[in-house]
């Protein structure tokens, strides 16, 4: 018997989930998006087996419904679900970055006999939209499931078994705990990155050259500040209670740092950086809550054609790159050429390729 999976919202994440689930046996993936152009692209690019024009009408045929929409839009759809004709056995989930509001709304659906299990695939890309969707985007990334208390184990297992075809690392966690953890490692860092950019913008009014010096480590640290403002407006508002708590803790930490500087204690300051280094170096390299491309720093000599030489070696070994840039300000940066890759495997192959063919040193930051 064929299982009908219905993905509503065919952007980067929804499209990637749809592509990955096409690998599931006896499964047909249908898709809908509000934008007609996206629906057309979904059909042309075969992101789904079949495109749907009326989500409410098709929902009655679905065994699993996945919302790949922003949280605010998902909440609107969840309200509409109350009047949709659905299979009694249908399982509904989402891909939103915050979960508490979603799962509070899910309690209303449960009263109507509708099963909703929250989901959050913690992966991303420097690109957006359906054309950036990839069947392997979620591979090795944490895929969080946030069922409400008392959810049927059988339905949770069924959803887990389906989503395993994304090759994500399936983890079950409480919605509030999810929102706290993602505030720490994803949402709050975006605020810090944005604040650093605002501080730079303020300083460059008096010191115009400051921006020119920000091309190296500063640019890497604040990369996530280039994310979609509307998306992060919504995430910040949805998780604002957790973020206010993080800000309070951050201010306490900054006061501690200020005290270290006021005291001028060399050993204490060195220990502060040493402890941070040790914790940072112990962090896993695998996909986390923030999208960060896999960067490789390459020490290369400065002569005409050297960049095309390096990229040519990578092309010979069929290694794709997602970005390449020259770093002019080299404070705390190991190399002057930074090459970005889609996967850690590609980065490792590239490092071996460059070391073998070009004899240049490479580093991972």
The string of pLDDT tens digits covering residues 65-89 is: 999 999 999 999 999 999 999 999 9
Say if residue 185 is in the same domain as residue 168: no
Quick: pLDDT tens for 175-190: 999 999 999 988 999 9
Q: What is the pTM of this model?
A: 0.79
Say if residue 213 is in the same domain as residue 345: no
CA distance 48 to 257: 52
Give Cα 329 to chain centroid, integer Å: 28
Question: Cα–Cα distances in Å, from 222 out to 60, 97, 181, 199, 258?
Answer: 45, 20, 20, 12, 22
Q: What is the CATH number of the domain that holds 230?
A: 1.10.3660.10
Task: To the nearest 10°, report the CA torsion of 163, 167, 168, 171.
Answer: 60
Give the residue numbers spanning the domain of 150: 3-173
Encoded tokens for 25: 């046996």
Maximum C-alpha span of the chain: 72
CA distance 102 to 120: 11
Say if residue 348 is in the same domain as residue 223: no
Encoded tokens for 66: 């996945």
CB 323 within 8 Å of CB 288: no
Say if residue 207 is in the same domain as residue 153: no
Q: What is the CATH number of the domain that holds 324?
A: 3.30.70.260
Among residues 147, 173, 199, the one where a domain terminates is: 173
232-244: average pLDDT: 94
pLDDT of 209 higher than 50: yes
Say if residue 116 is in the same domain as residue 199: no
* 236 found inside a domain: yes
Question: Cα–Cα distances in Å, from 358 out to 202, 203, 242?
Answer: 42, 41, 48
* 13 found inside a domain: yes
What pLDDT score does 329 carry?
A: 43
Question: Cα–Cα distances in Å, from 336 out to 215, 328, 342?
Answer: 11, 7, 20
Say if residue 259 is in the same domain as residue 233: yes
* 289 found inside a domain: no
Question: 317: pLDDT confidence band, cut at 50, 70 and 90?
Answer: very high
What pLDDT score does 331 carry?
A: 42
What pLDDT score does 333 carry?
A: 45
Q: How many domains does the chain have?
A: 3
* 152 found inside a domain: yes
Burial class (CB in 10 A: 0-12, 13-18, 19+), 86: buried
CB 143 within 8 Å of CB 163: yes
If DSSP codes are grouped into helix, strand and coil, which group holds residue 207?
A: coil
Q: Where are the beta strands (DSSP E) in the chain?
A: 3-8, 27-32, 50-51, 64-67, 91-94, 115-121, 142-146, 169-172, 294-298, 323-326, 337-341, 362-363
Say if residue 110 is in the same domain as residue 211: no
Query: 115 forms bridges with which residues in the sheet?
Result: 91
* 286 found inside a domain: no
310-339: average pLDDT: 76
Say if residue 204 is in the same domain as residue 239: yes
* 158 found inside a domain: yes
């Amino acid at each position: 018997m064929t299982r009908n999976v219905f993905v509503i919202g065919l952007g980067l994440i929804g499209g990637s989930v749809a592509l990955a689930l096409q690998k599931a046996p006896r499964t047909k993936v249908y898709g809908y998006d509000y934008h007609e152009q996206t629906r057309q692209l979904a059909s042309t690019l075969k992101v789904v087996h079949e495109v749907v024009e009326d989500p409410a009408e098709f929902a009655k045929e679905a065994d699993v419904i996945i919302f790949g929409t922003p949280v605010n839009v998902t909440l609107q759809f969840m309200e509409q679900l109350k009047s949709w004709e659905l299979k009694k056995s249908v399982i509904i989930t989402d891909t939103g970055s915050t979960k508490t509001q979603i799962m509070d709304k899910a309690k209303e659906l449960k009263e109507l006999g509708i099963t909703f299990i929250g989901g959050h695939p913690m992966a991303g890309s420097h690109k957006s939209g359906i054309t950036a969707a990839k069947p392997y985007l979620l591979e090795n990334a944490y895929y969080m499931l946030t069922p409400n208390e008392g959810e049927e184990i059988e339905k949770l297992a069924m959803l887990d078994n389906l989503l395993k075809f994304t090759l994500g690392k399936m983890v079950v966690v409480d919605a509030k705990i999810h929102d706290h953890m993602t505030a720490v490692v994803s949402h709050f860092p975006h605020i810090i990155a944005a604040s650093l950019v605002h501080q730079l913008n303020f300083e460059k009014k008096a010191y115009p050259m400051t921006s020119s010096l920000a091309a190296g480590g500063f640019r890497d640290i604040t990369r996530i500040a280039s994310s979609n403002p509307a998306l992060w407006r919504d995430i910040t508002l949805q998780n604002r209670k957790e973020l206010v708590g993080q800000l309070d803790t951050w201010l306490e930490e900054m006061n501690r740092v200020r005290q270290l500087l006021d005291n001028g204690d060399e050993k204490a300051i060195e220990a502060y950086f040493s402890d941070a280094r040790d914790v940072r170096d112990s962090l896993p390299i695998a996909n986390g809550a923030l999208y960060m491309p896999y960067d490789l720093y390459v020490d290369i000599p400065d002569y005409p054609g050297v960049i095309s030489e390096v990229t040519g070696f990578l092309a010979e070994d069929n290694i794709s790159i997602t970005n390449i840039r020259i770093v002019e300000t080299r404070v705390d940066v190991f190399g002057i050429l930074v090459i970005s890759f889609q996967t850690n495997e590609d980065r490792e192959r590239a490092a071996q390729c460059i070391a073998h063919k070009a004899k240049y040193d490479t580093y991972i930051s």
